[in-house]
Amino acid sequence: MKKLLIVFGTRPEAIKMAPIIIKLRDTQPIETRICVTGQHKDMLYPVLSLFGIEAHYDLSVMKKEQSLSYVTGAVLDGVSNVLEEYAPDLVLVHGDTTSAFAGCLASFYKSIPVAHIEAGLRSGDIFSPFPEEFNRRAISLMSSFHFAPTEESRTNLISEGINDSSIFVTGNTVIDTLLLTSQMRSELILPSSPFVLMTVHRREHSDADISAIFRAVRRFCIDYPSLCVIYPVHKNPRLLRLSSQILQDLPNVALTPPLSLVDFHHALRNCHFVLTDSGGVQEEAAYLGRPVLVVRNTTERSEGERVGALKVIGNDEQRIYQAMSALITEKGNYKKVLHSCLAFGDGHASQRIIDILQKI
């Protein structure tokens, strides 16, 4: 029996690894163990319970307002110990978080091959998103197998000198997860008026950038009182502080704790449009045909941008306000972007990944 170790530690990795983990339960001849780094805690564990995932190892690294170097060091040490104990034949990591980077580095130091899921996304700017763009590139350098979600991500990898025979285009597993949650019942009561769903959390945003985004939302809510904004606030204390300072008093803004995945997907399916700096939310909303305004200067999901599903609008207050308003006032243009974008996946990515894992 070949031994596989899956390493992850944040909410989005758990969401995108879940369909693979579920399928691996019945996959011979692979024995799987799960190492959760605990980079996230309260945002991570509900996803594990939703899909009945139990970690064999939990490094519990999370601290309040943790630094990148702290998380990197703690995950590197912790995963190294797990590798000593379990001695897997292959390690699986996902995406671009510090858990993925440090888990990959620990495996590389022990000469254990790594397979990287969601490989080849590139914004082209090493500082955006920060530190994720660096993490992605470093993980690609260290990995032996690359599961690229799209042809474009494969091309990015080839242009960096990665051997084509080690790249497999599979689609993004986030679409598989969306199909799983579409079978689950949400208890969330949505507003009867049209609403905007918003998420903001990127580390590279300064306090001034985040304040500018929130001020734009504030103006929008004041000018369009019949609409509302639902904003599940990321647990990072910086976001909690700024959102309560700038948005809390508005009657048509709902600042909530992070929503369960089922509730968040339910809100996403029903919202008027999405304002986000999240990676996964861009893919999900595009697939569900909800227009997405990306409050960042770059996207590594340009497949969605090209077909008009995503619009990158940066973090200038006036530009954000105008882009939000345009989705209300320009009804013809709004309708044009209401179609499902299939560029990110078809719901079968996890099966493709498992089939390849069995071969390699």
Residues lying near ligand UDP in the complex (CB under 6 A): 11-12, 15, 199, 201, 232, 258-259, 261, 264-265, 278-281, 284
Per partner kind, with CB cut-offs from 5 to 8 A, the member of ligand UDP, ligand UD1, none near residue 64 is: ligand UD1
Per partner kind, with CB cut-offs from 5 to 8 A, the member of ligand UD1, ligand UDP, none near residue 304 is: none
Indicate if 118 belongs to the active site: yes
- Contact between 136 and 73 under an 8 Å Cβ cutoff? The reply is no
Indicate if 346 belongs to the active site: no
- Contact between 172 and 193 under an 8 Å Cβ cutoff? The reply is no
Per partner kind, with CB cut-offs from 5 to 8 A, the member of ligand UD1, ligand UDP, none near residue 15 is: ligand UDP
Indicate if 201 belongs to the active site: yes
Indicate if 348 belongs to the active site: no
Q: Minimum distance from CB of 351 to ligand UD1 (Å)? A: 26
12 binds ligand UD1 (CB under 6 A): yes
Query: At 18, phi and psi to the nearest 5?
Result: -50, -50
Q: Residue 155 CA to chain centroid, in angstroms?
A: 21
Catalytic residue, candidates 96, 133, 283, 305 = 96
Cβ-proximal residues to 159 (8 Å cutoff; 6+ apart), any chain: none
Per DSSP, 360 falls in state -
Catalytic residue, candidates 11, 234, 269, 301 = 234
Cβ-proximal residues to 156 (8 Å cutoff; 6+ apart), any chain: 120, 121, 122
124 binds ligand UD1 (CB under 6 A): no
Per partner kind, with CB cut-offs from 5 to 8 A, the member of ligand UD1, ligand UDP, none near residue 98 is: ligand UD1
Concatenated DSSP letters of 128-143 = BSTTHHHHHHHHHHH-
Query: At 283, phi and psi to the nearest 5?
Result: -70, -45
128 binds ligand UD1 (CB under 6 A): no
Which residues are part of the catalytic machinery? 96, 118, 132, 201, 203, 234
